[in-house]
Structure 1
Amino acid sequence: MIRTAICPGSFDPVTMGHLDIISRACKIFDRIIVAVPVNPQKHFSFSVEERMELLQRVCDGAGLANVEIDRVTGLLADYAMEKGAMVVVKGLRAVSDFEYEFQQALANKKLNPHLETMFLPTSSDNMFLSSSVVKQIAGFGGDISHFVPDCILHTIQERLCKQG
């Protein structure tokens, strides 16, 4: 039996923290589906297609052969059932992340009783790191090279870094 897990997230943009969680999940499960949500009510810096392409470049660059990048257009619980996934893997940076993620895990479990959620604490190097932090630093022209994978740095800088 192939053990499939889903790593959902906005990935707007992909950070070293995201790569850390995805890489660690790859060591635990046979197949990882990195799921990018389609949410027309939320404003993203990168389109779904762009986020998926950035994730593919990052995962290929890291040699993560058991990763598949996909989009989610509905409920994660339904998507997991459709894909045969029994686990959702979520990274936690701080206790404040836990409350929201715990609520999501309980809702997903109610919608799909076979779905479990696994929380992975982020590495200490990435505890402060989020896509929002990257966007804020880039927006003020700061150096984001320590926060995003090298293979996508230029693309992210072109979109987010303050010009001139």
Structure 2
Amino acid sequence: MFSHEERISLIAKAVSELENIEVDSFEGLMVDHAVKHGAVAAIRGLRALSDFEFEFKMALMNRNLNEDISTLFLMPHAKYTHVSSSMVREAASLGGNVSDYVPAHVDKALKDKYGNV
């Protein structure tokens, strides 16, 4: 839907007021990229038990690849546990109101993309 460059730009704008945040993309192993940039942890979100199984396996693999990189899991507010990018994308593509789930500039970009102005 959005190009790689568009996604980077949308994310960068969403976090622009936060300190010590760098938006970046990479190819290869996350743990290698983390070490290259001096990171010590990966932060992952867990919405439901179904997310946990995948994320737990990924965290164990990353630990096996580099034990110096930890994985921290964060849970969303209960009112957002059902929200996924797929659901937001589908609702937006059908003209649904997704403004409760995305920043205003992303909502506008979705409307522009799908012609739902």
TM-score bin, normalised by smaller chain: over 0.9
RMSD: 1.5
Task: Identify the structure with bigger relative contact order (alpha carbons < 8 Å, sequence gap 6+).
Answer: 1
**How far apart are the structure 2 equivalents of 1:143 and 1:75?**
36
Q: What's 2:70 paired with?
A: 116
Give the alignment partner of residue 55 of structure 1, picking from 2, 8, 11.
Answer: 11
Give ranges in structure 2 of 5+ residues lacking alignment. Answer: none
Q: What's 2:112 paired with?
A: 158
Q: What's 1:84 paired with?
A: 38
TM-superposed deviation, 1:162 = 6.0
**Which structure has greater strand proportion?**
1
Give ranges in structure 1 of 5+ residues lacking alignment. Answer: 1-44
**How far apart are the structure 2 equivalents of 1:144 and 1:121?**
20
TM-superposed deviation, 1:65 = 2.2
Give the residue type in structure 1 aligned to 2:15.
C
Residue 99 (1) aligns with residue 53 (2): yes
Deviations along 1:109-160, whole A, 9 cap, x unmatched? 111111110101111121111110101101211111111101221112212x
How many matched pairs?
Answer: 117
Aligned-residue sequence identity (percent) comes to: 38
Q: What's 1:10 paired with?
A: none
- The structure with the largest alpha-carbon Rg is 2
